[in-house]
Amino acid sequence: MPLTHDFKETIRQRAQEEPEFRQALLREAVECILNGDLQTGKAVLRDYVNATVGFQDLEKRTRIPAKSLMRMLGPKGSPSAVNLTSIVTVLLQTEGVRFELALRRWA
């Protein structure tokens, strides 16, 4: 089900006003990807990009065309590990954060 304009606008507004919310979006995207839910991870990354840097700025920083970035993070997209890593690295740098991993046993 596609997200409504109002929902996307709410995400954008919160992301611009609340650094903790932005960081939570980015963390959720990466956690989903690392835990095998690529579809959800890509969708959250796409929302994050739309709400923050935008695809044009991401294009300049990753040297990947904006249309390719949009396709990669779209429902049918299949980004390579190199491209996905490049995207996440730029977003982490933009946010001024880094990840520390912790392993947990399956419940």
Which two three-digit tokens encode residue 46? 């796409």
Tell me the whole-structure pTM to 2 decimals. 0.87
| Residues 79-98, mean pLDDT to the nearest whole number | 96
pLDDT digits (tens, 9 = 90+) for 16-55: 899 999 999 999 999 999 999 999 999 999 999 999 999 9
Answer yes or no: are the C-beta atoms of 30 and 99 closer than 8 Å: yes
Nearest CA among 19, 28, 31, 67 for reference residue 47: 28
pLDDT at residue 62 above 60? yes
pLDDT digits (tens, 9 = 90+) for 86-95: 999 999 999 9
Quick one: which H or E segment has residue 42? Answer: helix 38-51
- Positive or negative torsion for Cα 12, 34, 69, 94: positive
